[in-house]
Structure formats: C-alpha cells, structure tokens
Amino acid sequence: MIYKTGKPKTKQHYREFKIMSQHVVVIGAVALGPKAACRFKRLEPDSKVTMVDQSDLISYGGCGIPYFVSGDVSDASQLQSTSFHMVRDAKFFKNVKDINVLTNTKVRSIDRNKKTVTVKNIITGQEDDLSYDQLVLATGSRPKRLPIPGVNLKGIFTVSNLNEAMAIKQGLAHGEVEKAVVIGAGAIGLEMAEAMADLWGIETTVIEVSDQILPGIISPNMARMAQCHLEENDIIVRLDEKVQQFHGTDRVKRVTTDKGIIDTDMVIMAVGVAPNGDLAKAAGLEVSQSGAIVVNDRMQTSDPYIYSGGDCVEIPNLLTGKPGYFPSGSLANRQGRVIGTNLAGGNARFEGAVGTFIIKAFEMSLASAGLSLGRAKAEGWDALSVFVSQFDRAHFYPEKGLMYMELIVDRKTEKVLGVQGLGGVTDAVFARVNAVAAILKYGATVADIGNLELLYAPPFSAAMDIVNALGNTAENVLRGKNKLIDVDQFAQWWRDREGSDAVFLDCRGWGNAKPVSEKYPDDWKSIPQDELKKRMDEVPRDKPVVLICNTGVRSYEAQLNLKQKGITNTYNLQGGMATVKKWGLDL
Amino acid sequence: MIYKTGKPKTKQHYREFKIMSQHVVVIGAVALGPKAACRFKRLEPDSKVTMVDQSDLISYGGCGIPYFVSGDVSDASQLQSTSFHMVRDAKFFKNVKDINVLTNTKVRSIDRNKKTVTVKNIITGQEDDLSYDQLVLATGSRPKRLPIPGVNLKGIFTVSNLNEAMAIKQGLAHGEVEKAVVIGAGAIGLEMAEAMADLWGIETTVIEVSDQILPGIISPNMARMAQCHLEENDIIVRLDEKVQQFHGTDRVKRVTTDKGIIDTDMVIMAVGVAPNGDLAKAAGLEVSQSGAIVVNDRMQTSDPYIYSGGDCVEIPNLLTGKPGYFPSGSLANRQGRVIGTNLAGGNARFEGAVGTFIIKAFEMSLASAGLSLGRAKAEGWDALSVFVSQFDRAHFYPEKGLMYMELIVDRKTEKVLGVQGLGGVTDAVFARVNAVAAILKYGATVADIGNLELLYAPPFSAAMDIVNALGNTAENVLRGKNKLIDVDQFAQWWRDREGSDAVFLDCRGWGNAKPVSEKYPDDWKSIPQDELKKRMDEVPRDKPVVLICNTGVRSYEAQLNLKQKGITNTYNLQGGMATVKKWGLDL
C-alpha cells in the first residue's frame, strides 16, 4: 500500500502525502534504473529497493563504449565507476546505497493484479516472485539486427552492452582485425569507426543505406562536410548502399552489398535501436506502435504503480508536439531522477525533449538540436535554413577556428525549429548549440536568435557571434534582402557551367581570387567588392550571377550593391569559399 | 521628412511604410555607430549617412585592447580590421560602405528644432552645421578617473581608446616599465594586469577598494578562487585598499593608499566607466540620473528622430525589470543593428539584457550571467545560492577538468536569478553559462535547470551535467533535503576549531583522507561513506558535524545516512575539498 487514500492531485497534496515504507522493484540496472533507485532511496531511506538485471555488469556508462574500444578508456571498470573511483557493482549498491541487486536475473512476467514480478536466475535457473508496491521499468533498448543471411556468424557485433564491447576490444587487441566494416553511419557507427581506425589503425569502411551520413540528424551539406573529414582520416564511407549478406564459415570474412563485395575481419552493426517494450506490453501496459512504453509527464505508465523512462519509452517532442523517441543516456539519467522523486510521493515532471546530438570525430565536433530542414518540412512547416561560417572567437584573437552553423526556421511564424554546428575539437560548437537548444522549447524566434545574449570576450566569442549572425541572416532572407544559394547548388551550377549562363563573380580581394581566376579565366570573374561600384558595367545584366567571397559577408554586400543598380538576378553563396572547401569541392 | 504620415504602429504598418531618401548623421564611430550606419545603408542604399568621430582611429574592437597591449594582437590595425583583413578607416567606409566619415571632428551641439548638429574639426578648427533627417547618438562611455592629487602625471592611463592603448604599449615595449599598478579589479583591470604580468614580465599590483575582485559581478567565493589563480601567476592583489595620491615630478613613480606606498612606473586606472550623455542632455533629451540616455525598446530617445544605444544608454534589466547599465561591445553591436533597421522604417526591438560576463585570466575562465547572490538579495529577493564542483566531461573520459559553478535562485518562486562558473581555459564554462544565460529571461526555474537539455557525448559533457546537478542541488536545498555549508564558513569553523564543538568528518576513502587525518588527528575524523552505516556509533550525536568529501556528492549521501539514524545537526561542505583547495585553504 503506497498512498493512504486515493491519488494525490496537487503539488501541495503530494508533499503532504504520508508515505509508508514500501518495496520498489526496478527492472534494468544500467542508467535510468540505478538513478531512479538511488534518488528514491535518498528520499525514502527506510523503504526497500530491489534492482534486477539480466547481466552481471551493471550501472555503466554505455555512451563510453566507443572510448573503451578505442583505448581512450583503458579498462571497462572505469565505465562502471563513480567519479571517485568506486566500481558500481552489486556490492557497491548494497553497501553504499542499501539497494539489493539481483544480477544475471531475467524478469519473466509482471502480474499487475498481484503486484508481483516473476524472475529467473539465468545461471541457476531458479525462479522467484518478487512483490512490489511500485515498479520501475528500465528495460532500455536493443540494437536492431539486419535480418539477412549470415547475421549469426562470429565477428559480427552490435554495440549494445559492456560484454559485447569487451569482446570487440579483445578481438582488436589480439590483432585479429585488419579490416572492419561498420554498418550504419549514425552516431554510434561513426564513434566506433573512429575508435577502430584512429587508435587501432584498422582499415574501416562505413556502409550507410541512406544518401548521407547521420541521416535525419544533420543536414545533407553538414553531413557532406563531416564525411570529408572522416575520409581525410582514412575512413572509407559508402553511401546509398545496402548490405545483403555476410559470408564466412565460422567467422565473418566478407560482406556483400547491392554494390559490391567487401572483405572484412569484423562487422559492427549500428543500424539503430528499438525500445524494449515487450515485458510492458505482455503485462497489458499501453505501448506505442513502435513498441515504446507510453508514459505521462510524471513518467508513469498506464498503471499508476509502474513508472518507466529512458530508452524504452516515448516522450513528447517539444517542437512537433508529437510523441518522440529519444534514446540517450543523458535523458535517461534525468528521467530516472524524476521517477525517483515520484516514487517517493513527489510530483516531478519531465515535459519532453527537443532532441540534441553531439559527436566528436577526429579533429571535428558536430552538433544539432531540434529538427533538421528535411524533418521540419516533413512535419509540415514551410521551413527554410540559412548557413553561416564564422570564426569561433574575435577575428583579431590569435587562436581561433572557423565554425559552420545552420539555422532552421519556419517562414510563417519565424520560429526557430533547429540548429546545427560543425567546428574543431574545442567546445565552441557545443557552446553555441547548447544555448540555442536551451531556448527552442520557449518558441524562440529568429529575432530572439539575432539578439541572443551570449557571453562575450575576445578569447571566447565575437562581439556579433555566429549565433547572432545566424538569426540576422535568417531575418534578411525572410525579408527578401539576401538571396542565397547553398554549396550543393553552387557545386551543381559549377559542374554544369558549360551549358549554363551563370556567371561566377568572386568578390574577394585579388590575392584570394587570383588562383581560381587564373585557373578558370573564362568562368571565374574577379571584382573585389570594394571596387564593385566603379566596375559595375563589367557585371552582366542578363545572366544569373553567383556572388562568392570567403564566408558570405562581402558577397552579401556585393548583392546589395548590384541590387541598387538594378541587377537582381544574383545569388549569394552562403558560407562562401570556406564552406566550399570544407565541403570537398576543389576549385 | 521621414515618414509619410504619422507614426507607424504595427509591424505590417512599418513594412508598408514608404521611406524616402534621407540623411542620417551618426555621432560616434567605434562599435554601435558603424553597425547602425552599415545596417541602415544596406537597407536603404540611396540614403546618405555621415558618421562623425573625434578621433582618427575608428571602428575598432575596443574589447581587444588588453590583447593588443599584451602582444597577442601584434598590431593595432588588426583591431581595426575586418575578418578579411581590410582596415576599417574613413576610406574603407567611403569605398565599401558609401558612408562619409568626418574624423577628428567633435560635435558641439544638437539643434533638434532645426534638425542640425554643429561640428568642429579639432585640427583645423572649422565649424559646420550638418542637417539630419534622423540622428544616432553613439557617444559611448568614458573611463572614470579618480579625483585625487597627481592624477594628471605622465604614465597614468585609462583603457579608453586605441590611442591610449598604443601609448601604453609603447611604454611597455621601450622597457620603461618594471612595476605597474592597476587600480580596479574589474574585467578590464584584470585583463590589463594579465597582459602586463604574463607577457611583459612586469611586477603588477592590482588595488581594489572593495573586499573582493570583480565586485558585484562574481560571488565572494568564486572571486577568492579566481584571486588565488591570479596570485599563483604572480599578480599581487590588494583588496579593501583605497588609492589616495599619485607621486612623481613629471611621470608617476609612487602610489599612496590608505594602507601603504607602492612604487610604480605605470598606473592603469580601470575604475569603471560612465555613459557619455552630456550632448544628449544639453539637447534636452531624457537622460537618467547617472547620465545615461533613456531609450525605448526600439532604441529611440525621447526625440523620435534620434536613436541611441551602446555604452551611453540604459536598457531594461530583464531580471529586475529596472533600468540597467550594461556597457558591452557585444550589446552595442546588436543594438546598432536594431537602430539601423529602425532608421530604415523597420520595427526591430531590443528588449533588454540579463547581464553576462566572461573573462580569461591565465589558465582560468570565469563567467557569470544574471544577478549575483548579493545583488539578488539587495534587490529584495529571498535568494539562496548553491555551489557544485564537477568534471566538465564524462568522468571516465581521459581529458577533463574540474569546473565550479554557482546557481542563484529565489526561494519563493524557485526562479533562477543568476549563474556563475569557473574552470580551465577551454570553452566548458562558456558553454554552460551561455545555456543558462539564454533561458534566464524566460523565467526559468530550478526544475528547468535540473532538466535542461544540454548536448551530451562523453568528450563534451557528463550524462548528468554540472548544470543539471546545480538545479538538482538547489531543489534538494529548497526541500530541506540537503543542508549546506559554504567554503568560507567552513574555513571559519576550521580556523576556530579550538573553541568550538564542530566535528570535521571526512567521508572520502581512506587514501584521500589519510594525509589530513594524520596531520590533524584530533580534529579531522575519517569514516568513508561506504563504511558509515557500520560505524554510525563513532559519530557524535551532540555536536555539529561537518561532512566532507571531494566534491560534495558523498558527503550529501553521508548526510542522508546520518539523518536516517537521527543525526541531523550536520553540514555538507558544498563543492568539497576540490573547492577548498581552489579557494586557497591549505589543509
């Protein structure tokens, strides 16, 4: 018996609720489970908590697996340790947290009427019933496996748990692997590819079925820039390619796709994860079509005595208003705390997520928050995106790097729907995308971004930071003041220049324009922007003119200069030559 | 004549407004002036703009002066250049922007009825009247000068403009300076101190009249931690000290204060700035008591044909709702754009600021946003602050550093009023304070911070980031679950331990506790938190117990363990030994 009478309804009501000692059972002991269990025990130390997990390795930082595989994290126990170097095993939970953990134990079923779970020790085979007052489902997700021939050969791994990670690392450390194939160019696939190529020197091929890396997360142009960086670091990236079969007698030796055959000694399958909702479904709890457990904003399932969170649930997407699936160790931890509070009669809320992403790959960081342009359009917005490249510090500050950012906005409401950034290995991209991510749920507009009060000092930022520049550029585009062309379209026009009218006009100083201009004397015209007013009659009035500078600032100025003289069929190359180069187009 | 009829009222109205060619005069050509002028010209290229400045050095990054003095920026022209290396002088503005600049020209007065300004060339002495349709006051601020004897001696500088910066650097480069005194431990004073001590090896003393560095910006504990870092880098910091006189025959050679005499070869006076509102006041415009020009959210003065922004105006403090003074090159740029838009008949708004600050000093970054605890209390809030120390990346990630953050909240509404952070020279502090700064104006609460959706990947952050930990800690304190003691109070209790009852209980593992415990066997007790339940009877029940661990996490757990056994007179040292050490208390 948890509540004395009825259900608590208000915050006040919750606080005054008299909670009696109870037994909470937590199914799953990796991220959300331990967080919920510990939080609850801190609030209600006299209650009893039992945590059940099918593995003997619990409470580890799963997101650290690629860094363990690479060797950055030397020992698996580090992923399982607290920041003060205590290993979070069953003994730790007992001694430090007064929480009982049943490892190597599978939950067979839940009887909601009796309020019991039937568990089975997978080593001894013994079955038991545990009665609960409240239950937490922290069953997480499972990696998807391609349903193709040969999928059960040795040497084919998913990145699902620490046991599997140790098997992968053992293979690498024993020198068994000269070539590896990663299937899926999502975050985990790319992190694993870097781990293998960079630190073990393995010839690594990433195969992605979509036409870009990080599909659905990062815009095609950002993805292509990131792909160039991976290729510069010897990762082989194959897009638009579908894996059809694995070959080998005992171990995998070859992968065939719809485009060819690739020899390999190891395969990492990183083709996404699916929520583990089966147990919930079997118990009659509400589960979505995709198999995710349905919860309210208190992280309660359709049974008020059962909570759930983390990789096995859906939560609202705060931008679309629809249910979203956001598997993330970070969300799991925060939701775990909310559950712990509510188990103790509190009234904590988890309202949803906008969706955030960041990855480090070699000397690059790449991040996003909210919706990509494609996703925004698919959701019905009349969306556009703008792209800006700019230094990450004051341009006069000696140590600095170029950043590339994209802002996705709704034309009608001018609401910001998403943001993306690519830069070096500093926290510069992290800092900008964090700030924009934080205000997405408040319905921030283009004007809010233009005036966003970022911290300013020359060693950290520019007086008009790239984020402000993004907002201002979007405003100029929305008002019809800045007519843009993106790097992809620019590349197409450049390739097709023989059969087209387009004029390519370089607005940079002659020093920068010279090499390209001399290489393509018929195709690449140079008029520095500060000479444009005097040389206006050199600009053709009857052809589309593509305006080019280093980052897009002077070409915008040139576009306005031309407009003033009635030349309006112009296109400002957003992100400028800095972006063209990063994107991999060699002029 | 600007507007055809009446005043535009709605956004739509503004857009449809037919603007005729006009003459805009801009007084001041450093940050806001050029931004407003250029933005306006981009929107209205057929209009005429005249920019007037009393110097011949214009449009430079004033915030870069300390980096120019240090030598990080080798040449003054870099501060005056665009990111594409064009020097923004009068010729640049004429050729590239079609803006006329009158350098070395002072504005004597404004005649609002005639819509003219009277200007005087300070070299030729010639006076002229310029008529305007709309006027922009970008008169900025002036450095305050102490009204004490000797203040006009040579070698005493303020950090007010590029000419003065060049004179300072010349003095340093010529080897004339072995010792320097900086008066004022605000941002500019500290940046100048670092520039002189670090790169020129000058014995540098900072004298501050207040009892901490960065008064009003940073909390006393953060300030003391930062001061320790300055002192480790050979800056001499003297607090609570008032400069009374400068001595020397021609050049300054000595400074006397209420506490002593300091020999010096140079003095940098960085005791704050005052808005230049005199011209506006003389023209009958509304000016605040402190002399700042009063503007509305369109950056219009009390005369609708005159705009103003930057260091000479007051804007709303979005936290207090009161007028605030926020001199900042970054705000000036953004306000300049708003003015440029509005000069062209637009309807851009600048709603105010929460106030942000960041500084790099040697190997430290230090940042804040919103109100400090002291300021929040002075403004009438029942405010409290919590302090957390944590790694800036996943604790298992190899490269990481400790960060220290403070959150200031209102007890009643649980609204967040301010945030501060101190860390290494990465962008880690910048990233966190940026994100919290961004949501302050939306009335973010403690719960919003606890669930703030920061980007997560082990190379950038922890699954439960320090920002989330700040929100959660604040919640625990507000609910009475976590009773804290800050490092300052801890240090007092430790110093007074002979005459007090207080017991100091180290909850870390014996390895960490041993050195302190063996040094102070009578005063420093060690019970590792995981042994606490078994050794509960060793904890005195009749004395206040200070609980100590490395960062405050285990001591919190220990506090709950003790509470369960009825021992409640306990105090959790927030930020733990990591903070004690950083704060300069050597145990």
Per-residue pLDDT, averaged over B86-104, amounts to: 94
The pLDDT value given to residue B160: 83
- Is the Cβ pair B459, A84 closer than 8 Å? no
The pLDDT value given to residue A555: 96
The model's pLDDT over B9-53, given as tens digits with 9 standing for 90+, comes to 444 444 434 457 899 999 999 999 999 999 999 999 999 999 999
Q: State yes or no: pLDDT of B62 exceeds 90.
A: no
- Provide the angle, in degrees to the nearest 10, between the axes of the packed helices B466-478 and A329-343: 10
To the nearest 10°, report the CA torsion of A575, A578, A582, A585.
Answer: 90
The pLDDT value given to residue A175: 87
Q: Does A414 touch chain B (CB under 8 A)?
A: no
Q: Which of A109, A140, A145, A155 is nearest to A32 (CA)?
A: A140
CA of B499, closest CA in chain A: separation in Å? 33
DSSP code, position B31: S
For A11-140+274-343, give the CATH class. Answer: alpha beta
| Residue % of chain A over a pLDDT of 70 | 97
Residue A565 tokens, joined: 């003289």
Provide the pLDDT confidence category of residue A199 given band limits of 50, 70 and 90. confident
The pLDDT value given to residue A261: 97
The fold of B11-60+69-142+274-343 is FAD/NAD(P)-binding domain (3.50.50)
Listed by number, the residues of chain A in 460-519 with a beta carbon closer than 8 Å to a beta carbon of chain B are 460-461, 463-465, 468, 472, 481, 508-509
Strands A273-275, A141-143: pairing is: antiparallel
φ, ψ of residue B360 to 5 degrees: the values are -105, 130
Q: State yes or no: pLDDT of A7 exceeds 70.
A: no
The model's pLDDT over A201-242, given as tens digits with 9 standing for 90+, comes to 999 999 999 999 999 999 999 999 999 999 999 999 999 999
Among chain A residues, the shortest Cα distance to B462 is held by: A330
CA of B545, closest CA in chain A: separation in Å? 19
Inter-chain contacts counted by CB atoms under 8 A, chains A and B: 280
- Pick one of 2.60.40.1080, 3.50.50.60, 3.40.640.10, 3.40.309.10 as the CATH number of A156-271: 3.50.50.60
CATH number, span B484-583: 3.40.250.10
Average model confidence (pLDDT) across chain A: 94
Phi-psi region of A194 (alpha: psi -120 to 50; beta: other; left: phi over 0): alpha
Which of A63, A442, A451 should one mutate to test binding to chain B, selecting the residue with the greatest count of B CBs within 10 A? A451
Domain with CATH 3.50.50.60 in chain B: 11-60+69-142+274-343, 156-271, 356-478
Phi-psi region of B54 (alpha: psi -120 to 50; beta: other; left: phi over 0): alpha
Domain with CATH 3.50.50.60 in chain A: 11-140+274-343, 156-271, 356-478
ipTM: 0.94
Listed by number, the residues of chain A in 52-81 with a beta carbon closer than 8 Å to a beta carbon of chain B are 61, 63-64, 67, 72-73, 78-79, 81
Q: Which of B135, B47, B63 is nearest to B97 (CA)?
A: B47
| Distance between CA atoms of residues A299 and A320, nearest Å | 19
The model's pLDDT over B111-132, given as tens digits with 9 standing for 90+, comes to 999 999 999 999 999 999 999 9
- Is the Cβ pair A529, B430 closer than 8 Å? no
The pLDDT value given to residue B18: 44
What's the distance, CA A387 to chain centroid?
A: 19
Which of B342, B368, B430 should one mutate to test binding to chain A, selecting the residue with the greatest count of A CBs within 10 A? B430
The pLDDT value given to residue A19: 52
The model's pLDDT over B506-564, given as tens digits with 9 standing for 90+, comes to 999 999 999 999 999 999 999 999 999 999 999 999 999 999 999 999 999 999 999 99
Question: Which residues of chain B are within 8 Å of residue A552 when distances are taken between CB atoms?
Answer: none
Strands A383-391, A364-370: pairing is: unpaired
Q: Does B14 touch chain A (CB under 8 A)?
A: no
For A484-582, give the CATH class. Answer: alpha beta
- Is the Cβ pair A451, B560 closer than 8 Å? no
Q: Does B333 touch chain A (CB under 8 A)?
A: yes
Residue A202 tokens, joined: 């393995």
Question: Which residues of chain B are within 8 Å of residue A428 when distances are taken between CB atoms?
Answer: 427
Q: A537: how many CB neighbours lie within 10 A of its CB?
A: 8
Q: State yes or no: pLDDT of B175 exceeds 50.
A: yes
CA angle B198-B203-B207, nearest 5°? 100
pTM: 0.95
| Residue % of chain A over a pLDDT of 90 | 89
**Which residues does residue A81 pair with via DSSP β-bridges, in sequence order?**
A87
- Is the Cβ pair A426, B431 closer than 8 Å? no
Per DSSP (E only), the strands in B295-412 are 306-308, 313-316, 323-324, 356-361, 364-370, 383-391, 402-410
User: Following DSSP, what letter does each residue of A280-340 receive, concatenated?
Assistant: HHHTT--B-TTSPEE--TT-B-SSTTEEE-GGGEEEEBTTT-SEE----HHHHHHHHHHHH
Q: Does A565 touch chain B (CB under 8 A)?
A: no
Residue with tokens 């619990």, as numbered in its chain: A58
Lowest-confidence pick of A16-25, A218-227, B33-42, B459-468:
A16-25
- Is the Cβ pair B330, A481 closer than 8 Å? no
Among chain A residues, the shortest Cα distance to B86 is held by: A509
Pick from B350, B460, B468: CB nearest A427: B460
- Is the Cβ pair B438, A433 closer than 8 Å? no
Average model confidence (pLDDT) across chain B: 94
Q: Does B337 touch chain A (CB under 8 A)?
A: yes
Q: Does B91 touch chain A (CB under 8 A)?
A: no
Listed by number, the residues of chain B in 541-560 with a beta carbon closer than 8 Å to a beta carbon of chain A are 549-551, 553-554, 557, 560
Q: Which residue has the higher pLDDT, A141 or B7?
A: A141
- Provide the angle, in degrees to the nearest 10, between the axes of the packed helices B32-43 and B329-343: 30
Question: Which residues of chain B are within 8 Å of residue A357 when distances are taken between CB atoms?
Answer: 455
The model's pLDDT over A390-423, given as tens digits with 9 standing for 90+, comes to 999 999 999 999 999 999 999 999 999 999 999 9
The pLDDT value given to residue A157: 96
Domain with CATH 3.40.250.10 in chain A: 484-582
Question: Which residues of chain A are within 8 Å of residue B553 when distances are taken between CB atoms?
Answer: 83-84
Pick from A331, A395, A438: CB nearest B439: A438
Strand, helix or coil for residue B561: helix
Q: A118: how many CB neighbours lie within 10 A of its CB?
A: 14
Q: Does A427 touch chain B (CB under 8 A)?
A: yes
The pLDDT value given to residue A494: 96
The pLDDT value given to residue A12: 44
Please list, in sequence order, all residues whose beta carbon lies within 8 angstroms of the beta carbon of residue B138, skipping any fewer than 6 positions away.
B26, B27, B28, B29, B30, B31, B32, B33, B36, B308, B309, B310, B312, B332, B336
Write the single-letter amino acid at B326. F
DSSP code, position B195: I
| Distance between CA atoms of residues B62 and B30, nearest Å | 8
Q: Which of A394, A497, A507, A388 is nearest to A450 (CA)?
A: A388
Provide the pLDDT confidence category of residue B455 given band limits of 50, 70 and 90. very high
SS3 readout for B456-491: CCCCCCCCCCHHHHHHHHHHHHHCCCCCEECHHHHH
The model's pLDDT over A283-313, given as tens digits with 9 standing for 90+, comes to 999 999 999 999 999 999 999 999 999 999 9
Per-residue pLDDT, averaged over B2-10, amounts to: 42
Pick from B79, B187, B427: CB nearest A426: B427
| Distance between CA atoms of residues A78 and B281, nearest Å | 65
| Distance between CA atoms of residues A80 and B193, nearest Å | 45
The pLDDT value given to residue B19: 52
To the nearest 10°, report the CA torsion of B561, B562, B568, B574.
Answer: -70
The model's pLDDT over B569-585, given as tens digits with 9 standing for 90+, comes to 999 999 999 999 999 99
The pLDDT value given to residue A52: 98
| Distance between CA atoms of residues B385 and B574, nearest Å | 11
Q: Which residue has the higher pLDDT, A86 or B369?
A: B369
Q: What sign does the dihedral A27-A33-A39-A41 (CA atoms) show? A: positive
The fold of B356-478 is FAD/NAD(P)-binding domain (3.50.50)
Among chain B residues, the shortest Cα distance to A431 is held by: B431
The model's pLDDT over B243-261, given as tens digits with 9 standing for 90+, comes to 999 999 999 999 999 999 9
| Residue % of chain B over a pLDDT of 90 | 89
Phi-psi region of A461 (alpha: psi -120 to 50; beta: other; left: phi over 0): beta
- Is the Cβ pair A84, B549 closer than 8 Å? yes
Q: Does A438 touch chain B (CB under 8 A)?
A: yes
**How far does chain B reach from its first CA to its final CA, in angstroms?**
73
- Provide the angle, in degrees to the nearest 10, between the axes of the packed helices A220-232 and A187-200: 20
To the nearest 10°, report the CA torsion of B305, B311, B315, B320.
Answer: -170
